[in-house]
Amino acid sequence: MMLAETIATTPPVTPAQATAEAQIIGRHIAVDFDHSGRRQRVLQSVNIAIPRGSFVSLIGPSGCGKSTLLKVLAGLVMPTEGSVTVDGIAPEEAAKNRIIGLVFQEATLLPWKNAIENAAFLLMTADESIAKSEAFGRAEAMLKLVGLVGAEKKMPSQLSGGMKQRVAIARALALDPQVLLMDEPFGALDAITREEMSECLLDIWERTGKTIVLVTHSIDEAVFLSNEVHVMGTGPARIIETLPITVARPRGEDSYSEPAFKAAEKRLRGLLIESHRRTS
């Protein structure tokens, strides 16, 4: 079955389905970095279990280790202590097997390639045996999924910031990963574009059923998108609370005014304020 057909027929993921099985498991994760010749602990005793098919956000003060934790889950940073598994194997192996896809704040598109060429690039690099027509077919399907129909031939210089991020997401999705790890992908976008991208990402999650882990500074974004939010504190960084999000699905513009949304927003804001006070 073609990837586009799979996406078209994948039913939306319900919260009950999302909590059925832990796909990503981190146990007692600690990370030390060297700073000016001194050893500094940046993550301390982090335990995390991310259910298969769920949408999970990591939120916390700037510099609290959210991105470091995401990189540990991705296999880009090795923990000093503890362990991580993705589908029962080490994350670096999961990445090699194209189980994990990554999206960062900077789209980093190749300026000499158009949108569809950029979207196909990682797939063609990862699988040199794949026919160009098949790679471009997948890339075209992913560009359609992220709402870029008609922009396939545009160069990066012709794309807005939001459009570039859509291409970056399509590029990651073209690999058909089971897990999508996203490090503040909308951080550099204006407020309206950011809201549009949040809605786009929610639609992708509902259509594909992938496990998504998002690092964000936005409380509203975390509540709007997530099944649960892991709140991180500093000194050294750890998860101080995991908050289930009970806002009804499907979610849309009206979700922001729901009592459950406002309650979750208030709780997260209080936790972040308290975390800031402890470090100020």
Domains and CATH numbers, the chain: 53-79+88-99+178-280 (3.40.50.300), 110-176 (no CATH)
**Encoding tokens for residue 52?**
């298969």
Q: What is the pTM of this model?
A: 0.89
- Compute the Cα dihedral for 32, 34, 35, 37 and give only its sign: positive
- Residue segments in the chain with a per-residue pLDDT below the cut of 50: 1-19
Note the pLDDT of residue 237.
Answer: 86
**Encoding tokens for residue 216?**
């964000």
Identify the burial level of 254 via C-beta atoms within 10 angstroms of its C-beta, where 0-12 means exposed, 13-18 middle and 19 or more buried: exposed
Greatest C-alpha distance within the chain = 55
Note the pLDDT of residue 61.
Answer: 87
Bridge partners for 14 per DSSP: none
CB contact at 8 A, 261 and 223? yes
Query: How far apart are alpha carbons 8 and 264 in whole angstroms?
Result: 32
Query: How far apart are alpha carbons 245 and 102 in whole angstroms?
Result: 24
**Encoding tokens for residue 162?**
């939001």
Identify the burial level of 6 via C-beta atoms within 10 angstroms of its C-beta, where 0-12 means exposed, 13-18 middle and 19 or more buried: middle
Give the three-state DSSP class for 120: helix
Q: In what order do the strands lie in the sheet with 228-233?
A: 100-103, 179-183, 211-215, 55-59, 228-233, 238-244
Residue 39 phi/psi, 5-degree rounding, is: -85, 125
Query: How far apart are alpha carbons 27 and 29 in whole angstroms?
Result: 6
